[in-house]
């Protein structure tokens, strides 16, 4: 299991999170993903962690205080991960493939966090936290739109509504948590790579028609 602390901020003192806090996040994340947020109680989390409810409440006052940092951290980390692997000087179609496969790599590494975080994207009652998460989501989606626009400018992709095309591309990845199984024949990145082939065939620009030779 991957260290979920990679998705989280440092504690209030700027120090790495303690092992107990990381364990609570790890367990809660898996339970939220498997049962849904409403299907998990603080008692469930405490039992899975092998600690008392009193100990759990010492660290977190409620379930929201566990899920909120996970939700923000997952969205922010996804954006930063994909951006780090993007090469603006590369051909647009190569950048598009990287965007999809690196998104899939991130999903596969942090599958439980991705699923848990996706359940509360619009329902967080904390306006500031929701706004921060939306800002990171928008940066991630804007990168995709920039790649698609670069493809159109280079003549590699046909003219289209960039925002709508971005939704189309993201739709192929965003449903992966519902049906992807780690024990399947293909990795998440392998599936994303095949998706990319299908997507490119749908939005690739038609080659210019060849001019017939002039008769003499």
- 192 sits in the region (left: phi over 0; alpha: psi -120 to 50; else beta) called alpha
Distance CA 64, CA 66 (A): 5
CATH number for position 48: 1.10.10.60
107 shares a domain with 177: yes
Distance CA 157, CA 96 (A): 11
53 shares a domain with 103: no
- pLDDT for 12 equals 45
CA distances from residue 90 to 80, 84, 119, 124, 148 in whole angstroms, order as listed: 18, 13, 35, 38, 13
Residue listed under structure tokens 């939220």:
32
* Residue that is last in its domain, among 59, 90, 106: 59
Q: What is the mean pLDDT of residues 52-58?
A: 94
Note whether residue 213 is domain-resident.
no
pLDDT at residue 80 tops 70: yes
- pLDDT for 211 equals 55
Gyration radius of the chain over CA positions: 21
pLDDT at residue 8 tops 80: no
- pLDDT for 175 equals 82
pLDDT at residue 166 tops 60: yes
DSSP class of 38: G
pLDDT digits (tens, 9 = 90+) for 91-134: 999 999 999 999 999 999 999 999 888 876 555 556 566 788 88
- pLDDT for 51 equals 94
Give me the domain span that covers residue 36. 4-59
pLDDT digits (tens, 9 = 90+) for 123-141: 555 656 678 888 999 999 9
- pLDDT for 121 equals 58
Note whether residue 41 is domain-resident.
yes
**Best mean pLDDT range from 57-61, 116-120, 172-176:** 57-61
Distance CA 179, CA 107 (A): 13
Distance CA 44, CA 40 (A): 6
Note whether residue 212 is domain-resident.
no
Q: How many separate domains does the chain show?
A: 2
3-state SS record for 4-19: HHHHCCCCCCCCCCCH
Quick one: CA dihedral 203, 204, 205, 209, positive or negative? negative
* 106: nearest Cα among 213, 2, 215: 2
CATH number for position 134: 1.10.357.10
* Residue that is last in its domain, among 40, 59, 78: 59
Note whether residue 153 is domain-resident.
yes
Contacts of 125 (CB under 8 A, 6+ apart): 64
Note whether residue 64 is domain-resident.
no
């Amino acid at each position: 299991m991957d260290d979920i602390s990679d998705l989280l901020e440092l504690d209030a003192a700027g120090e790495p999170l303690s092992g107990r806090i990381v364990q609570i996040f790890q367990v809660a994340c898996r339970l939220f993903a498997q049962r849904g947020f409403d299907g998990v109680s603080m008692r469930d989390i405490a039992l899975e962690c092998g600690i008392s409810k009193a100990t759990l409440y010492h660290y977190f006052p409620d379930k929201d205080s566990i899920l909120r940092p996970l939700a923000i951290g997952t969205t922010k980390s996804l954006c930063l991960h994909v951006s780090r692997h993007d090469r603006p000087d590369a051909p647009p179609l190569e950048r598009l493939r990287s965007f999809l496969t690196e998104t899939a790599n991130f999903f596969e590494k942090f599958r439980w966090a991705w699923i848990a975080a996706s359940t509360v994207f619009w329902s967080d009652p904390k306006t500031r936290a929701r706004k921060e998460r939306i800002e990171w989501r928008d940066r991630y989606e804007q990168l995709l739109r920039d790649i698609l626009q670069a493809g159109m400018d280079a003549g590699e992709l046909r003219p289209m509504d960039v925002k709508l095309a971005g939704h189309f591309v993201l739709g192929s990845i965003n449903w992966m948590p519902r049906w992807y199984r780690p024990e399947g024949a293909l990795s998440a990145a392998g599936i994303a790579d095949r998706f990319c082939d299908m997507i490119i065939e749908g939005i690739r620009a038609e080659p210019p028609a060849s001019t017939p030779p002039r008769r003499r």
